[in-house]
Amino acid sequence: MPELPEVETTRRGIAPYLEGQRVSRVIVRERRLRWPIPEDLDVRLSGQRIECVERRAKYLLIKAEAGSLIGHLGMSGSLRLVECGLVAAKHEHVDIELESGLALRYTDPRRFGALLWCEDPLRHELLARLGPEPLGGLFDGERLFQLSRGRSMAVKPFIMDNAVVVGVGNIYATEALFAAGIDPRREAGSISRARYLRLAEEIKRILAHAIERGGTTLRDFVGGDGQPGYFQQELFAYGRGGEFCKVCGTTLREVKLGQRASVYCPKCQR
């Protein structure tokens, strides 16, 4: 599933072509996504000027004059720009045509993504109770330390909880814990303030770097320009169970935490 850096990469890729443009029409070929695309989306969005393209957690917010389109890429979704009228392939479900002659095309082979309309997206049930952005000023190690007190759950699913901080998915949680030297199996409440301060900084650093590298290409993800991300080439732990640690040479171990595979180094992480 595309994580925060992949969604931010998409946002940065499409925003310059959408912002300030007026929508001429919306073509929906398949409404059956994770939730059905609203039947009146064409009526609501056509003629509207797109004011900005923002991101909240893993959701894209395409803000128009009368409301916002909330987009989620699901497991295999992508948004890219094509020429209006370009013949659509099998899994290319939606075109948002612009007066510029370009169209924002939504592709989703597995149809686990979403395109929803809302007048006030931050009050929508999907977004209303989310925690702070990891790259924003409201997230830091002190927040992790305070929220973890008395928590017996493992630290990895703790930092992946969207009520604690948004957008720290499996790939980047694994990498941040490796960089901070923290065993992902440790009880969240047993970790010191100093180590949480380090972990928060590593989360910020790794996410920011992944965004600059265009995200991580795993199976289906491509950015808004149709190009893959390159952060996968720099992974230290994620997906490397049984391989040698790039730091100390110890064999990396893989365990299940919260139904997710988690790889760690038994020597570097404690």
193 is in an annotated binding site: no
Of 2, 5, 134, 184, catalytic? 2
Residue 93 marked as a ligand binder: no
Residue 110 marked as a ligand binder: yes
Instruction: Assess whether 58 carries a catalytic annotation.
Output: yes
Active site residue 54: no
> Rounded CA gap, 178 and 203, in Å?
10
Whole-number Cα distances in Å, 4 to 29, 33, 106, 269: 27, 21, 18, 24
Which among 12, 31, 185, 260 is annotated as catalytic?
A: 260
**Known catalytic residue: 109?**
no
Among candidate residues 55, 58, 195, 198, the one labeled active-site is 58
Residues in the annotated binding site for DNA: 91, 110, 151
Residues in the annotated binding site: 91, 110, 151
Catalytic residues: 2-3, 58, 260
